Chains A and B, each alone.
Chain A
Amino acid sequence: MKIENIKAQMRKGVLELCVLGLLSKETMYPSDIIRNLKENDLIVVEGTMYPLLNRLTKDGYLAYNWVESNSGPPRKYYEITSKGEELRNELAKSWSALSQTVNFSNSLNISENE
């Protein structure tokens, strides 16, 4: 297995949580979400986002409104639903537990190596 693959797997797992987290602060349209995630190296290609947003919307975690724009056709503004907020809390809990465990086991290894 390539290192890049492992890293990609890691990112993939937290992508939903990141999207929900971003949207819990403000409503955004896909380009905003993508820019945010790209700046933080969470996604490599934009195409990843569209199926994800669609799935989250289909499952009722997100909703969108059509908003007229000055240039071009109306755009979808995404917002988080109450169901999505629940999912975010749930995922955030398991993430912090997971990151603690991962960091802890890594720090053990480092001290052993020393």
Chain B
Amino acid sequence: MNIVEKILARGAGKSSVAPDDVVFAKVDKVMMHDVSGPGVIKVFDKLKKQGISVDKLWDSSKVWVAEDHFVPSAEKVSAENIVKLSKFTKQYGIEKHFKYGMGQYGICHTISHEEAMVMPGDIYVGGDSHTNTTGALGAFACGLGHTDIAYVLLNGQIWFKVPETYYFKLNGKLPDHVMAKDLILKIVGDIGTDGGAYQTMQFGGSGVDEMSVESRLTLCNMTTEAGAKNGIVEPDQKVVDYLTQRGATNFNLIKGDEDAEYAKVFEYESSEMEPTVAKPFSPENTCVVREASSVELDKSYIGSCTGAKYEDLEAAARILKGRKVKIRTEILPAAISIYQRAMENGLLKIFLDAGVTVGPPTCGACCGAHMGVLAKDEVCISTTNRNFPGRMGHVESQTYLASPLVAAASAVTGKITDPRDL
């Protein structure tokens, strides 16, 4: 069995499972945020009306809650949702509620790794499509709708069809000017936005071994853009060290068998990769950065679960150090812990000296919520994960998806720029 089959077999209490088996599996962790949470509350209200008891969750210690999409509260409706969420977590005794303005908080997927909320081998579900991100820790991590999250909160289990696995073998260390973001954009461009539909996308090979945990998180994050059920990397010592630094103990490192089977194997020479962008209006609409270098920009946005981890900010700082931005540029660290390290290590000074606006952790303009959304005809380069029409603001604005290095280099020139051409 491969790693996903082993994790699902464990959760289902079976000795083995195979692709297309439907299993009822115990869930280890469940997450909801300020958009899916109020949706779940609505489902609970409906159940109450049907006379079903929703007085108790299956295990409130396994549930955690993030505030990220519309925080700090964008206007009165989102403020009310935050109040609703706080009442809910208090009522059900959910202690792990990361509230803005009260220490650590941030984008749910970022909190999942920054706070070691999810462990290797876990079955982890979240009320958000980018829950796939956390598969980089060696967990089976996938997104669910509100009703399914409500179901898990009450029952602690849910059914899965065991996915087939596409294995992406990445050969060689990425060059200095290339990031995991470039690689995953290239892959989504190659296989298309439904190229991984209901598949596991597993990443391995020397390119992944060489990669930091945060780079692996970027890879798994955008498996969602290929329609994958989940993304995953087999856990190694780097994952153990990363989570240990964040307070985790007791690891159960599940890995695939030597003779594990994969539905398809794709090979990439990661050492020969080029900086890549996805042009409007689809993440699959990719080309190398140098082919798009004539595009004039209005904005650069460095934020989101995809592109505002510490490593992403560090990459941006490498470019911005001693330089000035030519277009509006925003950097929103994805969690308070990242914000703090950026301050301690001098990154914030580099950003502010360059003219950047540094914002609070939030999904913000990535989903067009607030904090720098785009006007009609504005063109933005962004470290986020989606560029559908209207995703970041006006339906006639344009977003190019890119790595933090490219977004920072482009901020300096005002045009889409390969970091080597600065």
Whether chains A and B associate is no
Interface residue ranges, B against A (CB under 8 Å): none
Interface residue ranges, A against B (CB under 8 Å): none
